[in-house]
Amino acid sequence: MVNLLNKFSLLIYKSENKYLGLIIILYISIFGWLLHQTNGMPYVTDNNETYSSIIHAKSISNYGFLKSSGFADEAYGPSEAAHPYVHSHQGNYPRFYSWLIYELGAKEVASQIVVTTFTIGLFSILLTFLFIKRLSNNIFAILCCVVYMTDYLFYSQWQVVTYRVWYSLLFFLQFLIIENIIKFKNPLWFIILIFNTAFFCYGELIFAAYLGLFSLIWVFVRFESKKMMFITAMSLAIGLFVSLLILYLQGVDYLGIELFKKDLELTFSARNQYDNKKTSIEIISKFYQDNNVVFWENISSRNELINPQAFIGSILYSFCKVYGPIFFILILLLLAHYIVQISWLKNGKYIIKYANLIRGFNETVKIGNSYLVISCCYVLLILISEEIIYKYFGITSGENLYYLLIIEVFIFSTIITIKDIKKESHLLYLFVLYTFVFLVVCKGLQSILNNNYSILWSNIYGKFLVENFVWILPIIITSLVSLTINEIEIFSIDNKKLDLILLFLFVGLVAYGVVYYLSPGYINSGYTFRMAPFLIFIFDMSIALAIYLPTSNAIKTYRNVKKIQNINQVLKVFYSSLFFIFIVILWFNIQYKYLKLLPPNHFYVLDKLSKEPYKGHSFVSDNYAAPVAVQTEQWAYFDPLIARAMFVETKDGEKLIGDKRYLWLADKNTNDEYRKPDYFICMQGQNIDTVLFDLKNKNKLLIGCFDLPIIKLAMNSQYNGITLAEYDEVGAKRTGFVSWAIVKFDWNRIQLNGLVWESDLNKKN
């Protein structure tokens, strides 16, 4: 083991300490600034899982592992009778680290985030560098790390979430281990692979399935020795088996065999193929309430999600919504131009032995140069459709010339393609296949490029770029086409090892496709709409590749500037510099705009809850209750119904109707205190849609929490004893979106007699 660690240390040393030092400095600078600006408590669009991890750590510290059968205890209350209330559908490895640093003194949210960010987070970015360097080179690895660290919404905000930061660490550690097996062939790396696989499989099961399948396919692609391939695959299988065995034993211990099977069955069916005729949501909810198991009612039907449009939307929806069509199309064009030019594809020579399993792939490249034009035209035709280009770019003049440009390029590229097909008639089938694929992609783009977000994209791009994009895009495409046809490889690179990056991205998409087919509902509800890290590990790598191509060529050409002898070299200098400057400025401008539009100190109310008059008082919330419970150090729960302010007459007098589906406290049926919380808090997180409202809200109308009936009731003082304690004055003044508001209940003065559960009323009816 010591010898292995020495070799690993040597590997890091050989990676050039100056590069690792640069990564460390950049990481500490970026995330140090982010944590300093937020007093160690960042909250962009989501940081709830940090608070959940502290809840789990406290539960382990106070009650040990056995009380909850080793599951994560989600009970948001300080009394022992409220525990356990478990999350039984999966393992939860991040809580162990939270518990460890909790015992070492990191008992507050800020300290948990700071410690985790600069230990697990820092280690994860170093592993990212080491793995990507193994497939490419130092410069590209650094560029990838910079793209990851500066991707504000899809990466950086999750790097300061003590639960999600583990995803990047285990993702890149998994592939670095596989690469080390290839290089060192040391048996101890197989043991490390087993442990790492067991670790991430003892977590969120959909991500575990994705990473496990991804790494398995990568093993089959990368390994030449069938013996090594088999041993590595068996190591992955052993790791999976160990984690599932532990999860099974925990489930049986907590619920028993039959109930645990029922738990898994209901969870999977509700997330992916819910059928109300077979099992109603009421029955599902009652099962989990009766057994003190947490369950979010994210219900979805598989039939609505298994189609090409939904699949493409799951991949591109969040990305296109945030970054808009201009950035997406630019990245797509640069990568397409590179792919059809890489020499190992043109010559039919595969740098990876098992890549030739994809039969005929080299033949598709024969029409790739000209078909790149066709694919670009398809994208353009989508953009110029009446319901897209006119509405979200507001084009009102010059359309005739624009259409002529499109028609000219389209006819030109079609003629070239047909010419290639005449030479080899069997390529006609490939041409038809290409056409079908791009039609499907464009159909997916139509559902993604939502006109409602036009004002957002105008803001992040700038008025000049949006207004002139209709002219800029044809110029870019025409230039790329001319260069491609004349075989001027402005983005060619000498380092053939970088081609492994393309293969890695392809394998990642294949693995995603399989996992999406198995569980489309969970991917959409748990990742796509939350913008949680899943495909971002290959998305950002694609962005880095698109930036690297012109960067590499620009640097290379500038070094040989005295040797420029023809127009091709001049074009290399010009286009490399132009694309590099344009895409880098565009990238950092977008990140800066979102930093302003979605500030990291959102929900500053959480800091207020840890002080008087709220500390030590109970709350009911219209959102995830873990942050409230952690800050107040008192019980709290999520009630999606109480905000409607509906009342009912009972034999005990008038009562406010509540919902106990998310009353995740084990003594919920015996503790009447939960019917009389001290406060109600509305917490509505910021996201792309709230930004959109801000940009459209010219009159600064107050919405958000002020739309809730219970807030209106408290403001009007209709009921004596229900008063508005505080609200988001900063948000109200800045955007008109009131993201939080607190209502105080004085049950001694109020004319109500507590809450009555809706489920109890339904029983009586």
Strand positions, DSSP E, 78-188: 86-87
Angle between helices 368-383 and 463-485 (to 10 degrees): 160
Cα distance between residue 21 and residue 117, in whole Å = 17
Concatenated DSSP letters for 303-348?
GGT-SHHHHHHHHHHHHHHHHHHHHHHHHHHHHHHHHTT-HHHHTT
Residues comprising the chain, all counted: 765
pTM of the model: 0.85
Cα distance between residue 642 and residue 674, in whole Å = 13
Cα distance between residue 120 and residue 150, in whole Å = 18
Tokens linked to 550: 């012109």
pLDDT confidence bin for 396, thresholds 50/70/90:
very low
Tell me, what amino acid is at 525?
A: S
Cα distance between residue 18 and residue 346, in whole Å = 37
What would the mean pLDDT of 276-285 be, rounded to a whole number?
74
Whether 431 and 417 have beta carbons less than 8 Å apart is answered as: yes
Strand positions, DSSP E, 214-254: none
pLDDT reported for residue 754: 80
Among 89-103, 112-126, 440-454, name the one with the lowest average pLDDT.
440-454
Q: How distant, in Å, are the alpha carbons of 49, 75, 79, 249 from that of 63? A: 21, 12, 11, 20
Tokens linked to 396: 């009102």
What would the mean pLDDT of 450-465 be, rounded to a whole number?
75
Cα distance between residue 108 and residue 41, in whole Å = 10
CA angle, corner 386, sides to 383 and 388, nearest 5? 45
Angle between helices 48-63 and 109-116 (to 10 degrees): 100
Tokens linked to 226: 């069938």
Tokens linked to 206: 């959909």
Cα distance between residue 284 and residue 297, in whole Å = 9
Tell me, what amino acid is at 275?
A: D
What does the DSSP 8-state code read for residue 2? H
pLDDT confidence bin for 81, thresholds 50/70/90:
very high
E strand or H helix that includes residue 261: helix 257-272
Asked if residue 227 has pLDDT above 70, the reply is yes
Mean pLDDT over all residues of the chain? 79
Tell me, what amino acid is at 626?
A: A
Angle between helices 138-150 and 122-135 (to 10 degrees): 140
Closest CA to 44 of 478, 710, 686: 686
Helix, strand or coil, per DSSP, at residue 233:
helix
Helix, strand or coil, per DSSP, at residue 715:
helix
Q: How many Cβ atoms sit within 10 Å of the Cβ of residue 259?
A: 16
Beta-carbon contacts of 726 under 8 Å, excluding residues fewer than 6 positions away, are 605, 608, 741, 742
Cα distance between residue 429 and residue 433, in whole Å = 6
E strand or H helix that includes residue 763: helix 758-764
Whether 85 and 26 have beta carbons less than 8 Å apart is answered as: no
Cα distance between residue 45 and residue 47, in whole Å = 7
What would the mean pLDDT of 34-38 be, rounded to a whole number?
93
Q: Which is more confidently placed, 651 or 340?
A: 651
Q: Which is more confidently placed, 449 or 742?
A: 742
Query: Any idea where the domains of the chain sit in the sequence?
Result: 15-185, 308-597, 605-764
pLDDT reported for residue 479: 64
Whether 368 and 359 have beta carbons less than 8 Å apart is answered as: no
pLDDT reported for residue 428: 58
Cα distance between residue 509 and residue 404, in whole Å = 36
CA angle, corner 339, sides to 333 and 345, nearest 5? 160
Whether 35 and 117 have beta carbons less than 8 Å apart is answered as: yes
User: In the beta sheet, which residues pair with residue 704?
Assistant: 738
Tokens linked to 127: 């592993």
Helix segments in 38-93, DSSP class H: 48-63
Most confident of 239-253, 356-370, 487-501, 709-723: 239-253
Tokens linked to 234: 């068996």
128-161 residue pLDDT tens: 999 999 888 888 899 999 999 999 999 999 999 9
Burial class (CB in 10 A: 0-12, 13-18, 19+), 265: exposed
Whether 755 and 676 have beta carbons less than 8 Å apart is answered as: yes
Range 208-212, long-range pairs (CB < 8 A, 24+ positions): 208/243, 209/515, 209/518, 209/519, 210/511, 210/512, 210/515, 210/534, 211/170, 211/171, 211/174, 212/236, 212/240
Tell me, what amino acid is at 255?
A: L
pLDDT reported for residue 344: 43
Strands 647-650 and 653-658: antiparallel
Whether 435 and 421 have beta carbons less than 8 Å apart is answered as: no
Tokens linked to 326: 């201009």
Q: How many Cβ atoms sit within 10 Å of the Cβ of residue 492?
A: 16
Asked if residue 50 has pLDDT above 90, the reply is yes
Whether 253 and 245 have beta carbons less than 8 Å apart is answered as: no
pLDDT reported for residue 165: 95
Q: How many Cβ atoms sit within 10 Å of the Cβ of residue 669?
A: 13
Asked if residue 345 has pLDDT above 50, the reply is no
Of all residues in the chain, the percent with pLDDT exceeding 90 is 37
